Amino acid sequence: MLVIQPRRHHRCADCDRAPLRHIVLESGAPLCLDCADMGHLVFLPRGDTALTRRARAGSSLSAVVVRFNRRRRRYERQGVFVEEPALAAAEAACLADAEARARRRARDARRRAAEDVRFTAALTAEILRLFPHCPAERARDIAEHTSVRGSGRVGRSAAGRALDEFAVTAAVRASVRHLDTEYDALLMARVPHHRARARVAAAIDAVLASWAADGSDEVASRVAEDQPPLT
């Protein structure tokens, strides 16, 4: 079951109510929750995974709520609709074992932090292997920036976590683009990003060539200019 938080005003195809905060599409026509027989459900916003999981498990009828993100061009989950008794039971269960779950979250956070430290160190070492003349502090900064968990940057991609040469070079190239060229100023001046990238490409190549050795500059030159920026 899917409920949509619309970005535009909609009118219920059955009862003519408008505007609707939530709609259910039936044969392409928008219905309000009451006409879709979901008016008795309560909304649980996203954010508490345990509460959501328990509430959905205890609810005989539930629906996922989504909203379209224009920037990312995709629907994203906003929460769920569940039956009120199921939500109350889930809240009680979560209160009962809140301390145990807090301890588990703390352990998981420590484990992830240790993993991140090890990965950042390995990524720094790989940057310095490919670009031995890159300042060590700059290599660490690039590794820390591109490997932030949940950032969606190159370092968190599957290729980045595998220390793929192409992905690592793309991360270094993006850092040089933003910090060592006029790229950001061009964007602020409303120059289209593809034109801005073309204008700074030679400057980026020069910096990467000065950092590279043993042909690593050839690797850098193979990085496509349509790679998305890391910020």
Can you tell me whether residue 34 is helix, strand or coil? coil
Write out pLDDT tens, residues 121-169: 999 999 999 999 999 999 999 999 988 877 777 777 888 788 889 999 9
The model's confidence at residue 104, banded by pLDDT at 50, 70 and 90, is confident
The two structure tokens encoding residue 13:
């195809």
C-alpha–C-alpha distance, residues 24 and 38, integer Å: 9
What sign does the dihedral 197-202-203-208 (CA atoms) show?
Answer: positive
Q: 205 vs 52, 145, 169, 181, CA distance in Å?
A: 49, 21, 11, 11
- Is residue 27 within 8 Å of residue 2, measured between CB atoms? no
C-alpha–C-alpha distance, residues 20 and 29, integer Å: 13
- Is residue 177 within 8 Å of residue 204, measured between CB atoms? yes
The two structure tokens encoding residue 210:
């000065």
For residue 203, pLDDT over 60 is answered with yes
The two structure tokens encoding residue 29:
């026509």
- Is residue 200 within 8 Å of residue 177, measured between CB atoms? yes
- Name the pTM for this structure: 0.57
Residue 152: predicted pLDDT:
73
